[in-house]
Structure 1
Amino acid sequence: MTRTLVDPHSVPAELRPYLQELVHRTHSVCGPHLVSVIAVGSVALGDYRHGRSDTDVTVVVDGALPGRALPGLATALAHPALPCPAAGLELVVYDEDFAARPSGAAGYLLDLNSGPSLPGKVSLDPAQSSAFWYVIDRSVAHQAGRVLYGSPAREVIAEPARADVLAALRASVREHSTGAGHLADNRVLNGCRSVQFCRTGRWQAKRRAAQAVAASEERFRPLVNAALRSYERPSRTAAAALPTADVRAFLAWVAERVDETAV
């Protein structure tokens, strides 16, 4: 099987050389044990914003991959050894048997965060991390993941149970309600995405979800529109401050929508 991108035009032009090299290095480390490399997040949902968005990647490997390969993979892919042109790389590696069954657990073999605007993280222990991030990402991957190498996302990543996805959304809203480590505009836009998932059962790009919420919820329209304008700015450092009380009130409303859906 080729080590090049399956469909280079399925990813933004700014990311193609980077993702090409990421696939090449991942294949070099994992060899025949590599099953799939899949773009998730904003790339999968068609809303990548260069300078603002992360690059989210899910890697699936077979159970015969030697454990010692995982630290080597993290070293090979971490910025600046592999310079990341996006705000950051969020890469998660799963064993194919785990990925193929619905689960509400984190379940990863490797979680790597690296990049110019992203705090570094290398974890080989899923107990170190809150499970909700990974449940949501696997749900997005199953619905919309763009294969960069190997088998299609729907063939290798199971859709988590709806109850597990809603529990993950509730945990996500709770995390964003604290505000710690999250930009205000992203807290609002992620809340909009959660609401739209509850309404439709499908994942939408943050900006599309925000436009839908702004159109239907007059009370929150000024806040959501302000978050959209902030998100359009060229970098994370240029993000605008939003009224703290308004953001918290909005996220409390989002939490209520998730709880209603879960009943």
Structure 2
Amino acid sequence: MNPAAAPPREVRAYLDELAHRTRAVCGPHLVSVLAVGSLALGDYRHGRSDVDVTTVVDRSLPRRALPELAGALAHPALPCPAAGLELVVYPADFTARPSGEAGYLMDLNTGPSLPERVSYDPGESPAFWYVLDRSIAHQSGLPLFGRPVREVIAAPERPAVLAALRASVREHAAGEGHVADNRVLNGCRSVVYCRTGHWFAKRRAAEAVAASEEAFRPLVEAALRSFERPRESALPLPAARVREFLAWAAERVDEAVGAVGSAEPEGGHTGSR
């Protein structure tokens, strides 16, 4: 691991043990273990953020290893010091190519603030979460074990990422199960990605939106203040303004989708390469 890009000290021992247990279960079938999400973008907030991990394995991994891995990593068998662990296991032949699908072998959610969930069927979950995670992983994933990220995670093509962002913004607009400040900051990150084609930390994206969109500056700044607090003590934000902001963010994503569509040649599409 590059020390300059090491995860925060609060979770380093946990991630080391997670990688160790994953190696013990998967053996020679393990290709890579990568920290993604807020850890990869340098925006991890202890007491607020989840730990996001992407694991890549050879397709020949015995299926029985997946429940064994879930048991080895589930909280409290492996106590999670963060709000939760969101770990996704992919086959290497899937992540090696761009895709707009979920495509996982296992999706595990566990931890003190997350409902316990394990899925072995990618059809059970909306694909957009996984497309966005792989896009962030390709750009900024931190290696915990194995081959470098660019060798194992292909970047989803821009149309697939924009479609995933559109679904993400609509999910956050609905508000079910999401803290208000995180809904706003995710909207900011989505808008900045549409503008730049690059993933930024939520706080940095929010600062950019606050600087450029005076009408939403008070809301975004309030979301940033709330984001400094633990998830359980997040500050209330005005619901109508949150909905208005996310409707605006959705329009920016739709504009980006339209711009890609208008650039497509007849009978084809132009994806990122």
Q: TM-score, normalised by structure 2?
A: 0.93
CA contact (8 A) 1:53 1:87 kept: yes
Question: Partner residue of 1:244?
Answer: 239
Query: Residues of 1 paired with 2:15 and 2:3: CA distance?
Result: 9
Query: Residues of 2 paired with 1:103 and 1:257: CA distance?
Result: 23
Alignment of 1:82-161 (within 5 A): 82-161=78-157
Question: Partner residue of 2:257?
Answer: 262
Cα 1:256–1:243, aligned 2, differ >3 Å: closer, same or farther? same
SS for the counterpart of 2:81 is coil
Query: Residues of 1 paired with 2:246 and 2:182: CA distance?
Result: 12
SS for the counterpart of 1:117 is coil
Query: Residues of 2 paired with 1:238 and 1:7: CA distance?
Result: 34
Amino acid at match of 1:180: E
Amino acid at match of 1:157: I
Query: Residues of 2 paired with 1:109 and 1:210: CA distance?
Result: 34
Query: Residues of 1 paired with 2:240 and 2:11: CA distance?
Result: 37
Amino acid at match of 2:250: A
Please, what is the CA RMSD of the aligned residues?
A: 0.7
Gaps of 5+ in 1: 1-5
SS for the counterpart of 2:205 is helix
Question: Partner residue of 1:70?
Answer: 66
* Offset of residue 63 of structure 1: 1.1
1:201 to 2:197 alignment: yes
Among candidates 174, 179, 182, match of residue 178 of structure 1:
174
Question: Partner residue of 2:54?
Answer: 58
SS for the counterpart of 2:19 is helix
Amino acid at match of 1:258: V
* Offset of residue 165 of structure 1: 0.2
Query: Residues of 2 paired with 1:134 and 1:202: CA distance?
Result: 17
* Offset of residue 241 of structure 1: 1.0
SS for the counterpart of 1:82 is coil
Query: Residues of 2 paired with 1:211 and 1:126: CA distance?
Result: 35
* Offset of residue 46 of structure 1: 0.5
SS for the counterpart of 1:26 is helix
SS for the counterpart of 2:83 is coil
* Offset of residue 7 of structure 1: 4.1
* Offset of residue 48 of structure 1: 0.7
Please list the CA deviations of residues 223-242 of structure 1 after superposition, one character each: whole Å capped at 9, or x if unmatched: 00000000011x10110111
The count of residues paired between Structure 1 and Structure 2 equals: 257
Gaps of 5+ in 2: 259-273
Query: Residues of 2 paired with 1:207 and 1:152: CA distance?
Result: 27
CA contact (8 A) 1:185 1:239 kept: yes
CA contact (8 A) 1:94 1:108 kept: yes
Question: Partner residue of 2:261?
Answer: none
Amino acid at match of 1:19: L
* Offset of residue 120 of structure 1: 1.1
SS for the counterpart of 2:100 is coil
Question: Partner residue of 1:3?
Answer: none
SS for the counterpart of 1:90 is strand
CA contact (8 A) 1:8 1:16 kept: no
